[in-house]
Amino acid sequence: MNRVYGVIGIKSIMANWNADFGGYPKTISNGNIFGSDKALKYSIKKYWDDNGEKILYIKSFKTEKGKIRPRSLEERYNQVFDTTLTKKDESTAVLKNLFSAIDVKSFGATFAEEGNNISITGAVQIGQGFNVYEKSSIEEQQILSPFRSDKKAKEGKEAEEANQSTLGTKIVSDEAHYLYPFYVNPTSYRDYVDMQVTEGYTDEDFNRFKDGALIGATALNTNAKSGCENEFALFIETDENTYFPNLTQFMEFEKGKNKDILKLNLNKILEQIKDDVKSIEIYYNDYKLELQNKPEGAKFFDIFTRKEV
């Protein structure tokens, strides 16, 4: 398994790809919209989970005294690995379990439980995904509930509202295009390979990550995420000693008449290390996205069918 550098593109139309605690699309101090790495990782983990993969770091629930509660990390660990965690457990045994979960194998883990305080730096590192469409705007939709409010009010307008159906608000961006940089460093697990708790990050592991990276957002079917989909992905495989900067800084997005335009602008940097590049694969929505300044020697695929275009 070699190093891989790339970019994952997510399109959001009248949806909220990653909300802050106020329900609005996340922004930095200057108002630019972005999506956290956690949002992208969640879409990939949810896709894996739906397809029967072993996932540790995802919310799950249990019933206790008639109430529904999220599981603690220990409870989730016991459920996933069919065991009972104790502070006497050997760290090597815990590590073997952790590395058998594909989300830990890809993204790493912070496992802070008594007797086993473990931190694993993941082979796959994902940066923040900034929206590259400058004309994005935030829309608020009022939603009428079929149920009345139980709010109690003695008189006046509040009393009138208490007898009416409650209102909710759905907040979305009209259109946004997020570009996430990532890299895969299989050498991250050398020490753990020496400890014989994992075989390292393999081609099979990478292919599972790649599969989730190409379809995770499209597969999400929550109310807020309906309208979000994968529209672009770039994978550049290099040798072990090659280092790339954040590739999203070389890309430009423009609105076109029939198709949106993504300028890749990577040929100059790729020319300087062409002997170290093993392969370049680009997946994109050919129906709605036009690529300009395509890298020389790259192979192009439909992101939905995976067929070469």
Every domain of the chain and the residues it spans: 3-52+123-137+171-302, 140-169
Q: Is pLDDT larger for residue 240 or for residue 102?
A: 102
Output the pLDDT for position 169.
Answer: 86
Residue 163 binned pLDDT confidence (cut-offs 50, 70, 90): low
Nearest residue to 104 via CA among 207, 230, 189, 215 = 189
Cα–Cα dist 42/46, whole Å = 6
Nearest residue to 300 via CA among 289, 284, 288, 278 = 284
| Positive or negative: CA dihedral 145, 147, 153, 159 | positive
How far apart, in Å, are the Cα atoms of 198 and each of 97, 205, 220, 267?
9, 12, 30, 37
Output the pLDDT for position 148.
Answer: 73
Contacts of 226 (CB under 8 A, 6+ apart): 15, 220
Output the pLDDT for position 250.
Answer: 96
Give pLDDT tens digits for 30-88: 999 999 999 999 999 999 999 999 999 999 999 998 999 999 999 999 999 999 999 99
Output the pLDDT for position 236.
Answer: 97
Does the pLDDT of residue 110 top 90, yes or no?
Answer: yes
> What is this structure's pTM?
0.92
The share of the chain scoring above pLDDT 90, in percent, equals 83
Output the pLDDT for position 70.
Answer: 96
Output the pLDDT for position 55.
Answer: 98
Output the pLDDT for position 276.
Answer: 93
Give pLDDT tens digits for 191-241: 999 999 999 999 999 999 999 999 999 999 776 688 999 999 999 999 988
Output the pLDDT for position 107.
Answer: 98
Contact present, 176 and 27 (Cβ < 8 Å)? no
Does the pLDDT of residue 117 top 70, yes or no?
Answer: yes
Residue 145 binned pLDDT confidence (cut-offs 50, 70, 90): confident
Output the pLDDT for position 144.
Answer: 82
- Helix pair angle (37-50, 203-219), 10° resolution: 100
Mean pLDDT of the chain: 92
